[in-house]
Structure 1
Amino acid sequence: MMSILASILSACATNKLPPIATVPQVDLPKFMGDWYVIAAIPTMIETQSFNAIENYKLNADGSIATTFTFNKGSLTGEFKTYQPHGFVIENSGNALWGMQFIWPIKAEYRIAYLNDDYTQTVIARNARDYVWIMARTPSISDTEYAKLTGFVSNLGYDLSKLRKVPHNTSKVNHP
């Protein structure tokens, strides 16, 4: 019991990291489409993902229809699909979203990095529990990967938890 109490007190005493800044502005129509998950500190459903792709479509009401697909366990494993809904937070330059898998809970989705040509992005959370490095292609150069993982590290993430997501570059995982 004392060790549990000590752990709780220790967790409360740790230094809080500052909020993660988002990019100033996101052109939502330009951001829509397929994003390959290059690496992630994964959620529970992503720990065995291969060929992971996040697809966004802008709805007429301004919300984001999201489709997350992947093969579970291997490049040819069971095909899985999840369809959370994204909600852009007002006055955020379209860079802060709520992502809803189950009503009424909306998870934080911060576009922390987006290159000028909208081909690479980093999605982060202030809790530093999950992060996603994504690109418009299933692979990026080692130089670009090092740059993006350096960015993630500078946000305060533990890179030992980062998992590179394997992709079968000879086929797309959409059925």
Structure 2
Amino acid sequence: MFKKWGLVAIVSLVFVGLFGCTGMPDNVEPVKGFELPRYLGKWYEIARFDHSFEEGLSEVTATYSMRSDGGVKVINRGFSKEEKTWDEAEGKAYFVESETTGHLKVSFFGPFYASYVIMELDKEGYQYALITGPDKDYLWILARTPSISDDVRMGLLEKATAAGYDVSKLIWVEHDQTGS
């Protein structure tokens, strides 16, 4: 499990879990027409808002696969340059609404779930996505490759800004492809 995803993440998720964490931020709508089989596989974290559970990590990836109970297995992996180690966390996710709506709940710790809302998605090729959590303190840009074009980047930043996110807070994740 991610060392960085230790006690702080547990406490945060417990707090969020106790206070209705599967909601959505204002001005955010999950994508419709979502196709889970096309979303499965490996995604690179291109950018994120800073959180203690990912602090100092580069080469962060998320890999999604099916669970035997119909849910989604989530493996988050990242490299700590400071510690020179790979850290990994395994979670599970389930749809909140229908399976064609990009709104899931994800848990890395027991019965506590937080929203995973896909607010923008390349529906043609499933090559990039803009993700938020239960509130505007969470934002991720994911892609199937370690980098995205300037046009895609600008489009995602515009979408996030229009929804009320302060995109100046994004951390752009380094990927040097040494084992991720």
TM, length-normalised to structure 2: 0.79
Choose which of 120, 143, 160 in structure 2 pairs with 1:135. Answer: 143
State whether residues 77 and 87 of structure 2, in contact with CA within 8 Å, keep that contact through their aligned partners in structure 1.
yes
**What is aligned with 2:67?**
59
**What is aligned with 1:5?**
none
**What is aligned with 1:12?**
none
Following the alignment from structure 1 to structure 2, what is the Cα–Cα distance between the partners of residues 28 and 134?
15
Following the alignment from structure 1 to structure 2, what is the Cα–Cα distance between the partners of residues 19 and 148?
15
Following the alignment from structure 1 to structure 2, what is the Cα–Cα distance between the partners of residues 150 and 49?
26
Deviating runs (4+, > 3 A) in structure 1?
Answer: none
- Partner secondary structure for residue 26 of structure 1: coil
Provide the aligned length of Structure 1 versus Structure 2.
155
Choose which of 61, 82, 94 in structure 1 pairs with 2:89. Answer: 82
Choose which of 99, 103, 106 in structure 2 pairs with 1:99. Answer: 106
1:110 aligns with 2:108: no
Displacement of 1:111 in angstroms is 0.7
State whether residues 27 and 164 of structure 2, in contact with CA within 8 Å, keep that contact through their aligned partners in structure 1.
no
One-letter amino acid of the structure 2 residue matched with residue 87 of structure 1: Y
- Partner secondary structure for residue 153 of structure 2: helix
**What is aligned with 2:5?**
none
- Partner secondary structure for residue 168 of structure 2: helix
Q: Percent identity?
A: 27
**What is aligned with 2:169?**
161
- Partner secondary structure for residue 83 of structure 1: strand
State whether residues 114 and 134 of structure 2, in contact with CA within 8 Å, keep that contact through their aligned partners in structure 1.
no
- With over 3 angstroms needed to count, the CA separation of the structure-2 counterparts of 1:145 and 1:22, relative to structure 1, is same
TM, length-normalised to structure 1: 0.81
Residues 111-165 of structure 1: CA deviation (Å, up to 9, x unaligned): 1111121000011134101111000000112222122112111111111211000
Listed as ranges, the gaps of 5+ residues in structure 2 are 1-24
Following the alignment from structure 2 to structure 1, what is the Cα–Cα distance between the partners of residues 128 and 92?
21
Q: Which has the larger radius of gyration?
A: 1
Following the alignment from structure 1 to structure 2, what is the Cα–Cα distance between the partners of residues 80 and 137?
20
State whether residues 65 and 74 of structure 2, in contact with CA within 8 Å, keep that contact through their aligned partners in structure 1.
yes
Following the alignment from structure 1 to structure 2, what is the Cα–Cα distance between the partners of residues 172 and 27?
29
**What is aligned with 2:9?**
none
Displacement of 1:92 in angstroms is 5.7
- With over 3 angstroms needed to count, the CA separation of the structure-2 counterparts of 1:42 and 1:99, relative to structure 1, is farther
